[in-house]
Structure 1
Amino acid sequence: MIEAKNIHKTFGALEVLKGVNVTINKGEVISIVGASGAGKTTLLQILGTLDKPDKLADLQLLINNAEVSKLKDKELAKFRNEHIGFIFQFHQLLPEFTALENVCIPAFIKKTPKPEAEKRAKELLDFLGLAHRINHKPNELSGGEQQRVAVARALINNPSIVFADEPSGNLDSESADKLHNLFFELRDKFGQTFVIVTHNEELADMADRKLTMVDGNIVV
């Protein structure tokens, strides 16, 4: 599913990632933990193709057997849209659009016909308990509801991998617990792989594997 070798990332004189090696299998729920500044989010962004690692001769980043580090920007954007979903701490919903419209955006980028995209979006929102909220805009939804809309948006194109960066960091404890359990329900129902950066120890310990980052590398 994901095979990353010798992942380095520097910003000026600061070396944030120092040769990370990691393998993630299909259907796993992986948590990545560590102190602030350890490189967790940078690694997540590189694995998710939102950022690029330093170009080194022995660099390798395979996702679904595609060497994504060698893709051109347009090819990479297409690959990302079709294979990867993202969930962020701050849901990043567009305020002028309804829940249904927000969920459909990645499908429209993929050029999925509108009736098909809306049908899939309604199915996801129904599964997430939001069938009665599809026409509401983000400011009319609770924090937990907004984050579930963001989850539906991440799933709309049936990605094989979902990356989540502090997905429950902005939620109350009850909403966070529901979201954590939801990840495992989704894995069991749809077979997605989840890679989750979190400071939430409960969520981290629920994962199939917990990877700990220290000073730019994985130590566990």
Structure 2
Amino acid sequence: MLQANTIFKAYGELEILKGVSISVNKGEIVSIVGASGAGKSTLLHIIGTLDKPDRGTVIIEGKDIFSMNERQLSDFRNKHIGFVFQFHHLLPEFTALENVAIPGYISGQDRKAVEKRALELLDILGVAHRAQHKPSAMSGGEQQRVSVARALINNPTLILADEPSGNLDSENATALHQLFFDLRDQMQQTFIIVTHNEELARISDRTIHMRDGFIY
């Protein structure tokens, strides 16, 4: 469902990606591992359309995403790609329910239907009791589950996670990793996860190793 072909990316004189190609099948959970500076997050951001390659193509569900204009690209990202980040990026002034619902509001869906789905996802993720709480009233593990619910609200086919358990203790990290597999089994989403967590890499369907801008 995803094919990235010969991706190059540099910032000034610094070459980050040096002709990277990867292919990911629907329903796979793929981990990308490597030392800091290997190019993992840059590759993830390009796959997620948050950045553009200098050269190369990214095909998602048969669509050449960088042939789209900015409006088409933004719409595609909103509907087809969900993001989970290390630091949650929840908006502090909004409740858990509102944070989860925001991508649904942006996509123009019916407000009541979006909020109903948001509550369902919070329940699936075990944090429905936190629906009316703001992030400051939640633990790190609860905030990360809310961020996963937000990533799922538009039922995207692809979930991209950048060090999703990096700020969690071992118990919450293990629970989050299991959650990814449960969600894949329930909803058939595809996950690409940048991680330093050896356990997560070990249990993934496949692990991609990066070093100095290359896959090896």
The equivalent of 1:39 in structure 2 is 39
2:94 equivalent to 1:84: no
Instruction: Give me the whole-angstrom Cα distance separating, in 2, the residues matched to 1:11 and 1:24.
Output: 26
Find the residue that maps to 1:129 and give its secondary structure: coil
Instruction: Give me the whole-angstrom Cα distance separating, in 2, the residues matched to 1:137 and 1:24.
Output: 36
* Structure-1-length-normalised TM-score: 0.97
Residues 9-158 of structure 1: pairs in structure 2 closer than 5 A: 9-54=9-54, 56=55, 59-158=56-155
2:155 equivalent to 1:165: no
The equivalent of 1:193 in structure 2 is 190
Instruction: Give me the whole-angstrom Cα distance separating, in 1, the residues matched to 2:76 and 2:211.
Output: 30
* Alpha-carbon displacement from aligned partner over 1:73-94 (angstroms, at most 9, x marks no partner): 1110000000000000000000
Instruction: Give me the whole-angstrom Cα distance separating, in 2, the residues matched to 1:31 and 1:209.
Output: 6
Instruction: Give me the whole-angstrom Cα distance separating, in 2, the residues matched to 1:70 and 1:10.
Output: 20
Find the residue that maps to 1:194 and give its secondary structure: strand
The structure 1 residue matched to 2:174, chosen from 177, 181, 189, is 177
- Cα RMSD, aligned residues only: 0.6
* Alpha-carbon displacement from aligned partner over 1:181-207 (angstroms, at most 9, x marks no partner): 000000000000000000000001110
Instruction: Give me the whole-angstrom Cα distance separating, in 2, the residues matched to 1:214 and 1:34.
Output: 6
The code of the aligned residue for 1:174 comes to: E
Find the residue that maps to 2:172 and give its secondary structure: helix
Sequence identity of aligned pairs in percent? Answer: 62
Shift in Å, 1:61: 1.0
Structure 1 runs (4+) deviating above 3 angstroms are none
* Alpha-carbon displacement from aligned partner over 1:105-148 (angstroms, at most 9, x marks no partner): 00000011110000100000000111111000000000000000
2:203 equivalent to 1:209: no
Find the residue that maps to 2:98 and give its secondary structure: helix
Shift in Å, 1:71: 0.9
The equivalent of 1:4 in structure 2 is 4
Find the residue that maps to 2:132 and give its secondary structure: coil
Instruction: Give me the whole-angstrom Cα distance separating, in 2, the residues matched to 1:202 and 1:130.
Output: 24
Instruction: Give me the whole-angstrom Cα distance separating, in 1, the residues matched to 2:212 and 2:66.
Output: 23
Instruction: Give me the whole-angstrom Cα distance separating, in 1, the residues matched to 2:61 and 2:127.
Output: 31
* Alpha-carbon displacement from aligned partner over 1:148-182 (angstroms, at most 9, x marks no partner): 00000000000000000000000111110100000
Instruction: Give me the whole-angstrom Cα distance separating, in 1, the residues matched to 2:126 and 2:36.
Output: 34
Instruction: Give me the whole-angstrom Cα distance separating, in 2, the residues matched to 1:70 and 1:30.
Output: 25
Instruction: Give me the whole-angstrom Cα distance separating, in 2, the residues matched to 1:7 and 1:71.
Output: 17
Instruction: Give me the whole-angstrom Cα distance separating, in 1, the residues matched to 2:22 and 2:126.
Output: 35
Instruction: Give me the whole-angstrom Cα distance separating, in 2, the residues matched to 1:174 and 1:30.
Output: 21
Shift in Å, 1:35: 0.6
Long gaps (5+) in structure 1 = none
* Alpha-carbon displacement from aligned partner over 1:27-61 (angstroms, at most 9, x marks no partner): 0000000011000000000011110000x3xx221
Find the residue that maps to 2:37 and give its secondary structure: coil
